[in-house]
Amino acid sequence: MVLCQGGEGDAAPAAGGQEPEVPPGREDGPGAVQPCVFPAPGVEAAGTEERRACGCCSGMSWPFCCEAPGTKKRATCPGLGLFYTILSAFLFSVASLLLKIIEDVHAVEVSAFRCVFQMAFVLPGLIYYKTGFLGPKGKRIFLFFRGALGSTAMVLLYYAYQVMPLADATVITFTSPVFTSLLAWIFLKEKYSLWDLLFTLFAVTGVILIARPPFLFGSRVSGIEGSYSDHLKGTIAAIASTLSAASTLVILRKVGKSVHYFLSIWYYAVIGLIGCVITLFVLNVWRLPHCGRDRVFLVLIGLLGLGGQIFLTKALQIEKAGPVSIMRTMDVVFAFILQALFLNQLPTWWTVGGALCVIASSSGTAIRKWRHSVKKAKQREI
């Protein structure tokens, strides 16, 4: 999400390492009003400047960011931000389904193609906003780790999609807000209450119900796609992906508004592509799909992932983070529906129970952070 003053757009976990994500702990959410500068009526550009409240721009001077002075700002269509969120969730879910269907393509190779699409999207923005390609000297180390962790989260999640049920992997990714709160408490000294602990326990319970370890559920575990060994590997990969994604959000909070959002994605795409290419040569698994259909799917995965990110960014620009975080749980609903319709695999009651625990946990975290943000905004007004 691009904010005034070139702010950083935080986001909540999403499936597939997809970004931006909606963070649970942002104090001034996407609906917050940010100041932007434009020439006052009748005053030359070199003269006095006047500030105007604006929630739609990217920190540029008038006339690029806002309507002309004196014009009436068009009202945002009610519910448009939530519609964008649902559309984003649907595109992400379809991309995940195609990743599940595609054959003989390693998760790392898919991730490399996704990074190429990200770079193609971000490069014009970097040139237009004149942000440079390296960023501020004091922030480059944070941007490097943000890129490394973000791309790692994407690769691990794509691998999880390939070896375990689509709905199971999607549900596990929604534990990200809970782990973000925990990591922010550890590294950023943010408040961590008993409610946060309760939501963490709910999330862990949901993951256990999905993983169904034999020492708790017995040796005959039903509803597992393929071997239990692959299911366990997928679960571990999904959890590691979630922790990596949560770590990127903590880094983004640490960086704050000093780095443009496009620059953050640029590091994510460049470092991810370099890492994926090196991994592919080391593993010797680089190969284009033999089937023309799979090649089309590979392109669609990149386009759908990019489209989902754009619509999520638009949603965060016109809607508060709390409602967007809650509405993003539609990812889970779409994953269940697509898995049943196209993969002929009905989710087990264990998966449904785990999904309810994780959704309750992530929604509770989002609501608490949202209320905290609203309370602080009212205090600032007073």
Tokens 């949603």 belong to which residue?
315
> What count of other Cβ atoms lies within 10 Å of the Cβ of residue 226?
11
For residue 35, what are the β-bridge partners? 53
Give the Cα-Cα-Cα angle 47, 8, 72 (nearest 5 degrees).
50
Instruction: For residue 212, give every residue at least 6 positions away whose Cβ sits within 8 Å of its Cβ, in sequence order, or none.
Output: 221, 224, 350
Amino acid code (one letter) for 47: G
What is the pLDDT, as a whole number, of residue 217?
67
Lookup: tokens for 343: 């993969």
Question: Which segments of the chain have a pLDDT < 70?
Answer: 1-76, 78, 214-226, 257, 289-291, 321-322
Q: What's the pLDDT at 39? A: 41
Confidence at residue 226, expressed as pLDDT on a 0 to 100 scale: 65
Residue with tokens 């992530």: 362
pLDDT for residue 199? 87
CB atoms within 10 A of CB 343: 15
Q: What's the confidence (pLDDT) of residue 47?
A: 41
* Rounded Cα gap, residues 322 and 14, in angstroms: 14
Give tens-digit pLDDT for 141-163: 888 998 899 889 989 999 998 88
pLDDT tens profile 47-74: 443 344 444 444 444 344 444 444 444 5
pLDDT at 271: 92
Burial of 123 (0-12, 13-18, 19+ CB in 10 A): middle
Closest CA to 314 of 73, 86, 118: 86
